[in-house]
Amino acid sequence: MPQEFSPAIFVAGLFLVYVAVLLLGWVTFKTSAGIPISRRRPDVVAHSSGLSRLTEHAVGALNKSVKDRGNRFLSRDRLDECGLKKAPGDYLLMAGVATLLAGVIGFVLGGLAPAFLFTLVTPVALHLTLNVLAARRRHQFDDQVPDTLQMLAGGLRAGHSLLRAVDAAAQESQPPMSEELSRILNETRIGRDLGESLAEVAQRTQSEDFAAIAQAIEIHREVGGDLAEVLDHLGDTVRDRNQVRGQIRALSAEGRMSALVLMSLPVLMFFGLTMFNDLYSRTFYTTFPGYAMIAAGLVLLTVGGLWLKSLVKPKF
């Protein structure tokens, strides 16, 4: 903590922390119903505080801004890829609150330099978190494709229509497959073409296997044939691909672990030196050359991380 600072700054920082925690809790735990309570339950009088109304106006303005500008980093489609249910404005507000909270904590812990560093790092960390959630959801979706193919083929052989087989597969599957299949059903019920819904799911999940399913169903709708048999053969191909993918991941596990160690070692060494002997690391956050070295280290770590990622990521 800095040796001397104004009590007014401390009080202002503490107030901002309280406001940030309130906003973060309200946005996180509020209900996500699309229909207002005045329409769902007309006999109930809705009571809302000034903070709730202010937050709702802020979320509405952020949603309108994201929709008008078409932000590809945090859009409705991007959140759907991650499996998140709230609107983009909610997450933008949460990101702003988290950044503010991180900046105040950094200032209380070490002054302006840690506050500036925490303020820069927090949005990057939130963006990386979205990437991790999207990658995890895509991996889970790819693992569920073979079982879904088997259920679709079984439903068609039992005499059900294609949409009824999709409905049965949605009920028997686990998320995220059940969520995507239920979305396909809901879209077709309101008049959207089945092929377009299937293609959009394949694009959103970036699944080549599901794209093959969409193409097979679209071709069957045009030329006919035994769709159940086609899905069986496609399921065998998908299982073989997943087996090869698992073998490649096992062979590249050592390289990925080495990359993780190389990326985390400088950061752990810095915090270790700060914890056990502050004299060694004080130069980095008390002088201008120290700030320059930290910035250069972050740039080099970023370049090295991208290079290692390209080396250990197999393509097949």
- Only one residue has tokens 């080396």, namely 311
Contacts with 134 (C-beta within 8 Å, 6 or more apart), sequence order: 78, 81, 82
Cβ atoms of 175 and 188 closer than 8 Å: no
Cα gap 178→292, rounded to integer Å: 50
Contacts with 221 (C-beta within 8 Å, 6 or more apart), sequence order: 194, 195
The answer to whether the predicted template modeling score (pTM) of the entire model surpasses 0.75 is no
Cα gap 137→171, rounded to integer Å: 19
Cβ atoms of 301 and 229 closer than 8 Å: no
- Only one residue has tokens 């790819």, namely 142
Cβ atoms of 62 and 88 closer than 8 Å: yes
Cβ atoms of 185 and 163 closer than 8 Å: yes
Q: Where are the beta strands (DSSP E) in the chain?
A: none
| pLDDT value at residue 33 | 47
End-to-end CA distance of the chain, in Å? 52
Name the CATH architecture for the domain at 143-244: Up-down Bundle (1.20)
Cα gap 311→258, rounded to integer Å: 11
| pLDDT value at residue 182 | 92
Query: Which residues of the chain fall short of a pLDDT of 70?
Result: 1-74, 314-316
Q: What is the pLDDT of residues 39-60, one digit of tens each?
A: 555 555 444 555 455 556 555 5
Write the single-letter amino acid at 230.
V
Cα gap 231→3, rounded to integer Å: 70
**Residues 196-220: b if buried by 16+ CB within 10 A, e if exposed:** ebbbbbbebbebebbbbbbebbbeb
| pLDDT value at residue 41 | 55
| pLDDT value at residue 184 | 92
Residue ranges of domains in the chain: 1-30+50-110, 143-244, 252-316
| pLDDT value at residue 6 | 57
Cα gap 274→297, rounded to integer Å: 16
| pLDDT value at residue 28 | 52
Q: What is the pLDDT of residues 98-123, one digit of tens each?
A: 888 888 887 777 777 777 878 888 88
